[in-house]
Amino acid sequence: MVEVGETGTITSWSWVEQVRDGQPLDRPHALALIQLDGADTSMVHVVDAPNAEAVSTGARVRIRWAEERSGLITDIACFELDGGAS
């Protein structure tokens, strides 16, 4: 186990325009591979971004924590573009 940061870098992504029931966000969003600072692998998670043009490989993101946490991956509600662009 290693400690990782709350920020990271998008290594690959795809835009979800048509949102379906059960998806983490109720509006269009990105699904991205995100490498957190201090990690040596990427994880898949949701990025809340205003549109596809705002997302890019190499973009910096920050964790948006869930209101209630229980020690699971769902403690991360989503990621947002670092700098408040979401």
Specify if 39 maps to a domain. yes
Q: Is residue 36 part of a domain?
A: yes
Residue 85 has pLDDT above 70, yes or no: no
For residue 49, is it within any domain?
yes
pTM: 0.89
Q: What is the CATH number of the domain that holds 62?
A: 2.40.50.140
Instruction: Evaluate whether residue 48 is within a structural domain.
Output: yes
Which residues lie closer than 8 Å to 53 by C-beta, 6 or more apart?
Answer: none
Residue 37 belongs to domain spanning: 7-81
Residue 22 within any structural domain of the chain: yes
pLDDT in tens, 57-78: 999 999 999 999 999 999 999 9
* Overall domain count for the chain: 1
Residue 84, pLDDT score: 47
Per residue in 22-51, pLDDT (tens digit) is 888 999 999 999 999 999 999 999 999 999
Residue 1 belongs to some domain of the structure? no
